[in-house]
Structure 1
């Protein structure tokens, strides 16, 4: 049965996990949980998790994914810097929202990049699901920047991106990674409501 095959594949994937891969997964989960709490330690977890993934992906010849991890590495440093209180001249970065116009512009940019890079991958490589792969990659790039700026809607973006990634990894037979992203989807929903509560509380405090 299909369900038995999936369970077997997950068990085999767990058994095949290296110490470094396990460490990267644990640190990635720690990053998300700490980010939900607005704890700047999340960027330390992101930095070390991403550092491991750079070499893991390169070792299995996933060159584009490895390059994307380098971007995440830079964003981890930038995010830590942004989330720190940099003195009296600048207030501590707080959760805020972007305008509908900004989100529409982002959607258009991601859409164009998805079509362009999806076409290039489709015509020039043997990439699987090139358009979906391009969408999740560029969506993650922009949404990661939103996290560094504490934009509330980043969690909504992650729901879409991580949800699409689940299908992407299942299609490729990466069931363990797909399961990890299912957990991500649950956590980002919780993260959105946690940040929204903080956002509303800070808005009320600023009006009083």
Structure 2
């Protein structure tokens, strides 16, 4: 049941993210609670620990998306600059190495893949919290690894929701690229 609740809240969360709706964060926080239980039970300790980190990042992202900038405007969807993207990608390599070492020590069932997806997800969440379009590329990379990992672990509903996430990431990328302020973008309603 917990895995199915994770499926439903996860799908709603990503859909709300695509729509740039701030309710993505409270729904995402509920999703993190469900998947914390699912991944802990499956022995995917980095994925379980990631849910705890996502709880904190979700609260931070919620605040980021609600606050006003100094000009009184809300945070808008935008491209990440070379520095932001470089930092996000560069952080993945040492984070993966460190987490692989830690996860091997605690007998994680898939230490490297669990570490890599965790590092990619953290970098993607950081970009999401600041509404950077490139968040979608990192989420897609993580999903392409998550899907076969969860199938191998027998977590079929979770693998299925990650297939859905992958499709929603493509849709999210297209939608966010069409937002005002993006080069070549067209005006679309953004909640």
User: Shorter-chain TM-score: which interval?
Assistant: 0.7 to 0.9
Q: CA deviation at 1:137?
A: 0.5
Residue 155 of structure 2 aligns with which residue? 174
Among 131, 135, 145, the residue aligned to 1:154: 135
Among 45, 49, 58, the residue aligned to 1:67: 49
Residue 84 of structure 1 aligns with which residue? 66
Residue 134 of structure 1 aligns with which residue? 115
Change (3 A) 1:204 1:131: closer
User: Which aligned runs of 4 or more in structure 1 are off by greater than 6 angstroms?
Assistant: 202-205
Residue 98 of structure 2 aligns with which residue? 116
The CA distance in 1 between the partners of 2:41 and 2:177, in whole Å, is 40
Q: Which has the higher contact order (CA 8 A, sep 6+)?
A: 2
The CA distance in 2 between the partners of 1:49 and 1:109, in whole Å, is 25
- Which deviates more, 63-72 or 52-61? 52-61
Q: Which runs of 5+ in 2 are unaligned?
A: 187-191
The CA distance in 2 between the partners of 1:121 and 1:59, in whole Å, is 15
- Structure with greater helix share of residues: 1
Q: CA deviation at 1:57?
A: 4.3
Q: Over residues 25-71 of structure 1, what are the superposed CA-to-partner deviations in whole Å (9 max), with x where a residue is unaligned?
A: 21111010011011111112112222333345456665543332121
Change (3 A) 1:201 1:127: closer
Please report the TM-score for the alignment, with normalisation by the length of structure 2.
0.83
Please report the TM-score for the alignment, with normalisation by the length of structure 1.
0.77
CA RMSD between the two structures? 2.6
The CA distance in 2 between the partners of 1:40 and 1:116, in whole Å, is 33
Q: Which has the larger radius of gyration?
A: 1
Report the 3-state secondary structure (helix = DSSP H, G, I; strand = E; otherwise coil) of the residue aligned with 2:154: coil
Change (3 A) 1:90 1:184: same
Q: Which runs of 5+ in 1 are unaligned?
A: 1-17
